[in-house]
Structure 1
Amino acid sequence: MRKKVADPKTRILETATRLFYTQGYNATGINQIIKEAEVARASLYLHYQSKEELCIAFLNFRHKYWFDALMKFTEELTDPEEKLMAAFDFLISMNDQEDFRGCAFMNILSEISPADQTIYTIIQHHKQNLRDYLASIFPEQGQLLKDHIYLLFESSMLESHLYRDQWPIIQSKKTIKTLL
């Protein structure tokens, strides 16, 4: 039996995080979040004035969670090639942990309209942080190689989500070894 978190704001965010990631942003209604978080409607709107605001909190939470996990997974490695391969191994680990749900940011992106500028900006910020992190592993390399690495990383996430298989990540690792 799961222990109930006392803080309603935390329960709301944890519930929205789970539901947005597993069933999608548009498929998740406020009523479901209220019911599963076991909070009153007034409590939800006290902490998050709209579903969009709750999505923003979810994306900010997910950004920190994901980058903290990536850093922890790769921090001990000093050899650039080993560190880069470990970043791809991190994707394999996340697929195993999260049942091939893919990138939370791209999942949300596929569900929003271009008018949702705040959410777009948060997603772009997350992806830019990822590009910067991957580029920092090989600072002496040219931008073309850095872009290839980033694009292989992104496509690995997307394709492994689509096929529910690790082969895209494994193949990207092989391609990167050839490029290096």
Structure 2
Amino acid sequence: MDSAVARERVLDAAEELFYGRGIQSVGMDDIRGTSGVSLKRLYQLFPAKEQLVEAYLERRDGRWRGRLAEFVERRPDPDERILAVFEWLEHWFGEEGFRGCAWINSYGELGATSDRVAHQVRAHKKAFGDYLGALVADAGRPADLAGPLFLLAEGAMVTAGITRSTRPAVQAREAARMLLDR
């Protein structure tokens, strides 16, 4: 197995296990067992668990933001694109195995002790905030609307992760609609 294939298998296993069980409860031997990659190869690819967590979050970020943008861009109306963010969140919250926001979860586990993890989380949240800001600008709305929309989305993520319900996305979308109608 070449390094690229081994790396993807390790990252697939890390995503499944870290997101499903939490980072601190998963050891490198768990990753080895799930990925089928030898421990020696695993440590060649990721000399420290922190580097694996960083790579997992970075890869997940690209896919998460890509899925969101693909969904949102289907809406021709700029205001509907803003509301589509919350519709997408509702779909995401309803997915089997949803355990909340991977970045919020990771920050809660390691943000105080890992600069690398904190950096990945901050970069993801900034990119998401910037994306909302771009949607607000495209809709010709005041720039200061992006902050409250970001907080609505983030609050919905936290609440949905705790309650295992899609309802927070519905409530946040309605609040976003009220902000757009003001």
| TM > 0.5 fold call | yes
**In the alignment, what sits opposite 2:170?**
170
Amino acid across the alignment from 1:86: A
Where does structure 1 lack aligned partners over 5 or more consecutive residues? 1-5
Q: How does 1:41-56 map to 2 (within 5 A)?
A: 41-56=39-54
CA displacement 1:5-32 (0-9 Å, x = unmatched): x922221111011101110100111111
Whole-angstrom distance in 2 between the partners of 1:58 and 1:154 = 20
Q: Distance in 2 between matches of 1:100 and 1:38?
A: 25
How far 1:143 moved relative to its partner? 4.0
Deviations 1:58-116 (A, max 9, x none): 01110011011011111122312211111111111112224331111001001014231
CA distance in 1, matches of 2:22, 2:101: 12
Q: Which residue of 1 aligns with 2:161?
A: 161
Q: Which runs of 5+ in 2 are unaligned?
A: none
CA distance in 1: counterparts of 2:127 and 2:15, whole angstroms: 21
Q: Is the 8 A contact 1:100 1:165 kept in 2?
A: no
Q: Give the aligned partner of residue 104 of structure 2.
A: 106
SS of residue paired to 2:23: coil
Q: Which residue of 1 aligns with 2:90?
A: 92
| Pairing 1:9–2:10 present | no
Partner letter of residue 170 of structure 2? I
Which residue is 1:21 aligned to?
19
Distance 1:90 1:117 in 2: 30
* Greater shift in the superposed pair: 46-55 or 163-172: 163-172
Structure 1's consecutive aligned runs of 4 or more residues displaced over 4 angstroms after TM superposition are none
Matches within 5 A, 1:53-92: 53-92=51-90
Aligned length: 175
Corresponding residue SS for 1:77: coil
CA distance in 2, matches of 1:84, 1:142: 13
Instruction: Give the TM-score taking structure 1 as reference length.
Output: 0.92
